[in-house]
Amino acid sequence: MPIRSSIPLPNPLAAGSLALALAALFNAALIENLAAQAPAALPAAPILFLASMAAPAARQLPQFAFAALPKSTDMLPGDAAVGGQPQDPPILSMAPHTEDGRYWVSGQANSILQAHGHFHSPYEGPNSLRNIVEYKASEVATLYLGYQLHPNTRFNTDLIVDFENAGGRGISQALGLAGQTNLDVVRNPNLSTAPYISRGEIHQIIGLTGEMEDQERAPFALATRVPVRRFEIRVGKMSLPDTFDINSVGTDSHLQFTNWTIDNNGAWDYAADTRGYTVGGILEYDDRVWSARYGIAAMPTVANGIDLDWAFSRANGQNWEFELRKGLFAPLLNPKHEGAIRILSYVNHAHMGDYRQAVQQFLSGQIATPDITQSERFGAVKYGFGLNTEQAVTDNLRFFARLGWNEDQHESYAYTEVGQTVSFGGDYYGQRWGRPLDKVGIAFVSNAIKRDHQNYLHYGGLGFLLGDGGLTYAREDIVEWYYNAHLWRGLFGMLGGSYIAHPGYNRDRGPVFVPAARVHIDF
């Protein structure tokens, strides 16, 4: 095991900014609770599920009441009653989607513009965040296709095929930050922008009871009625974050936050190619208030590579997750304010290098600069753990948090260069200012690496994301905020930004401010 480094406190300015913002959210919640005691109670919160997902951030939100697309009979906040009957809910897609057809056809397009100016930077390396004025935009478009072989039975079968194309660039070609600011960016800028198959999977439900319950129809789960107790099996090409580490507050770069380590657990080095996809299988058991799932998937042949190693006997990523659909503070809150707790663990076997060995090779004079590829071997094992929780506090206010840890002696191989992470934040719907489908969110994430990884970067080693040519270590602290506005039907617009202290864990560089704008369309 690597020697764990001493951990400095998070940047006070970033933490202070977040504290003020969270205090504002709590104040809004207090006002809302007081108002709820008045004779005229507030209407319910906006219930919103938009299945708009893309590589590598494609995520299926949890099927909680506060994260589900309303049926035509539901009344959204702000819906006026006419003649004693509620009006139809607002249309949240450019085209309607059937609730009872065997076919599913939908799509999305997402474009994110980000920029930054000059910042303190006495030196740079090949993989640094560049100290120049940058303006970069990304574009991702996805076509979701599905067909039900046995619709809405105890043994429902879905055939899912999605097509996608990703273009544009991230700031500094998505280098120089462990917590990259744009989850839609493909991590290899040299890949073709031609369309590709992002998912091709079979989704099989095996019901263990005849008792059925409603389920919201979505691109990765077409059935509207499913058994209360059931197995779900997925086999094919997929993205593991479609199923694991889901969080309805911090998961979706299209309507929520955009940072890699806020929308995902940064310490979870999940099996994926450079676009975020892999081939494998998932077995899941679902009961009334809990689920358990296991997945095994192919690892890339090289770190951040596009090609997968098909020899599962020597290279694979295995994942386990337990989910309890009760929040940490459920006993203290109204039962209708739902929450969840998820515990994740993973083990990766791959042709990985070892940071400690790479540094020892350098110090002994065997190589001129630490090079992780010189220590790569089959049989290397990387493992880690994660905790993921979310909780609705009022009808409009929700909070989330994540913790993550991995052994960080073996190289970061498939996702990002993080050994430890802690993140928390929340969102608040705009019911109180007459915009029930708008949402404001703020989150804080603090990422860290352990001593072996620190030494590797300090002596000039390069990871697939980081490498300033030197390192004066500090935690990478990031605050992100956004305002997401519903403009018309399936059209949304966002303005936001990020404040980054110690980019790439380097106390010598930064801070950096990155403003952002986003346009999202659901079809």
d(CA 255, CA 438): 10
According to DSSP H, which parts of 434-519 are helical? Answer: 451-458
Number of domains forming the structure of the chain? 1
Looking at residue 72, its pLDDT comes to 30
Higher pLDDT, 302 or 20: 302
Q: What pTM value is reported for the model?
A: 0.84
pLDDT (tens digit, 9 = 90+) per residue, 385-396?
999 999 999 999
If pLDDT is split at 50, 70 and 90, which confidence band does 52 have? very low
d(CA 162, CA 145): 6
CATH code, domain carrying 504: 2.40.160.10
The amino acid occupying position 200 is G
Looking at residue 327, its pLDDT comes to 79
In a domain, 97, yes or no: no
If pLDDT is split at 50, 70 and 90, which confidence band does 150 have? confident
Looking at residue 332, its pLDDT comes to 67
Looking at residue 86, its pLDDT comes to 53
In a domain, 194, yes or no: yes
Q: Span 97-122, mean pLDDT?
A: 94
**Residue entry with tokens 């450019």:** 94
**Residue entry with tokens 């409009």:** 396
Q: Span 456-484, mean pLDDT?
A: 97
What letter would DSSP give residue 449? -
Looking at residue 82, its pLDDT comes to 40
pLDDT (tens digit, 9 = 90+) per residue, 203-215?
999 999 999 999 9
d(CA 520, CA 491): 6
pLDDT (tens digit, 9 = 90+) per residue, 318-349?
999 999 998 777 666 677 788 999 999 999 99
Print the domain residue range for 497: 12-77+112-522
In a domain, 84, yes or no: no
Question: Which range (48-52, 54-58, 148-152, 200-204) has the least confidence?
Answer: 48-52
pLDDT greater than 60 at residue 16: no
The amino acid occupying position 115 is A
d(CA 390, CA 403): 12
In a domain, 88, yes or no: no
Q: Span 93-122, mean pLDDT?
A: 93
User: How high is the mean pLDDT of the chain?
Assistant: 86
In a domain, 2, yes or no: no
pLDDT greater than 60 at residue 11: no
Residues in the chain: 523
Looking at residue 305, its pLDDT comes to 94
CB 205 within 8 A of CB 230: yes
d(CA 261, CA 205): 32
Cα-Cα-Cα-Cα torsion 42, 47, 48, 49, nearest 10 degrees, comes to: 170
pLDDT (tens digit, 9 = 90+) per residue, 477-498?
999 999 999 999 999 999 999 9
The amino acid occupying position 470 is G
Q: Span 437-466, mean pLDDT?
A: 97
d(CA 321, CA 385): 10
In a domain, 336, yes or no: yes
In a domain, 101, yes or no: no
In a domain, 92, yes or no: no
pLDDT greater than 60 at residue 240: yes
